[in-house]
Amino acid sequence: METRERREQEAEEAIDAINKKTGRNMPQAIGTAAVLIAIILACLLISIDLFVVLIIVFMVLALWEMRVDFATAGLHIPVIMLWVCSTMTLVAVYYSSYHIVAMAMCIMASAVMVALSASAKMSIGTRLSTAVASKLANTDAAARLESSFNHEGGEQHHSRLSHVAVSLFTLLYIPLLGSCLIIPLTFNGHPVAHAIMLVFLPALSDTGGLFAGAWLGKHKLSPRISPKKSVEGLIGSILFAMAGAFAIFACTYDAARWADRWWVPVVAGVMIGIVGTFGDLCASMLKRDIGIKDMGHLLKGHGGVMDRIDSILLSAPFTCILLWATGL
């Protein structure tokens, strides 16, 4: 009996050590990741259209998180207008015959409507205030002190131009980059393979970076922005993304295509590993500047939706261009 209790205690201590080194609850993170993978694969197996709907749902959730995060610093983004514009943009990009033109026109029209809405600074209901209060209550004092905004000084007041600026940044960050997840589904006849590359390779890269950094990480990559990131983690991200790219290509393309495109998985792995890590660092820098720990709390073990998709969003345009340029 004592032996069993001692083993359970040792297992708990080992898990706590891993959680501390990775900066997240690993059992929760693994469980959440398994559920997300099942949902994404189910959508892909049923219909590509359903996968597009799933992307829209995630963009809507991410926009709400950004709304709350910026509100903790007294900055307003018109989330309802962003929801409408984002949905219209992603749907138009997928169903239009001229995908790039549709994206450009929708983003330009959205920029005008979002800027006008942001300058009005309207808010409906009390849900935002409740979410902001909860976010600040769960944020430690050290994070607030490092922020560019003095949370201890009460409500922040900014010019209308500041609200417009962060709203346009959100438009470019989420709907525009999100459109790059849609475009590869429309060319070269491999929508499922493209979708898997767009979503799972950055996620696999994150996983490789997490484990390599936790077990081998000694040289800090950017200690000021993200103390958990290491050079060893970056190498792990590249290797995992490269291995995933080779697996996807092996299951998708024939031997003749492999003969003259064997180098593409290598380029994809290096590119996604570096760009995905840069996307994580950008998100960490944004969180540090606002003075929060996580973008949200919807995904257990992962923080918010934005914490999960930041590397996916930033990798999307690079992967899209690579697939288009190589004719894959």
pLDDT 10s digit of each residue in the chain, 328 long?
A: 556 555 555 545 555 555 555 555 666 667 777 888 889 999 999 999 999 999 999 999 999 888 888 888 888 899 999 999 999 999 999 999 899 999 999 999 999 999 999 887 655 545 555 555 555 555 554 555 555 555 454 455 667 788 899 999 999 999 999 999 999 999 888 899 999 999 999 988 888 887 877 777 677 777 777 777 778 888 888 999 999 999 998 888 888 887 788 899 999 999 999 998 888 888 778 877 777 776 666 665 556 787 778 889 999 999 999 999 988 8
185 contacts 194 by C-beta, under 8 angstroms: yes
Mean pLDDT of the chain: 80
pTM assigned to the model? 0.82
Q: What is the pLDDT of residues 159-177, one digit of tens each?
A: 778 889 999 999 999 999 9
Residue pair 100/183 in contact by the 8 Å Cβ criterion: yes
Q: What is the pLDDT of residue 16?
A: 56
Taking the C-alpha atoms of residue 170 and residue 86, their distance in angstroms, rounded to an integer, is 10
Phi-psi region of 52 (alpha: psi -120 to 50; beta: other; left: phi over 0): alpha
Residue ranges of E strands in 190-233: 220-222, 226-230
SS3 call for 222: strand
Q: How far is residue 277's CA from residue 226's CA, in Å, rounded to a whole number?
A: 11
Q: Angle at Cα 281 formed by Cα 278 and Cα 284, nearest 5°?
A: 155
Domain ranges within the chain, ordered by starting residue: 47-186, 189-328
Task: Give the pLDDT score at 76.
Answer: 86
pLDDT given for residue 124 in this prediction: 53
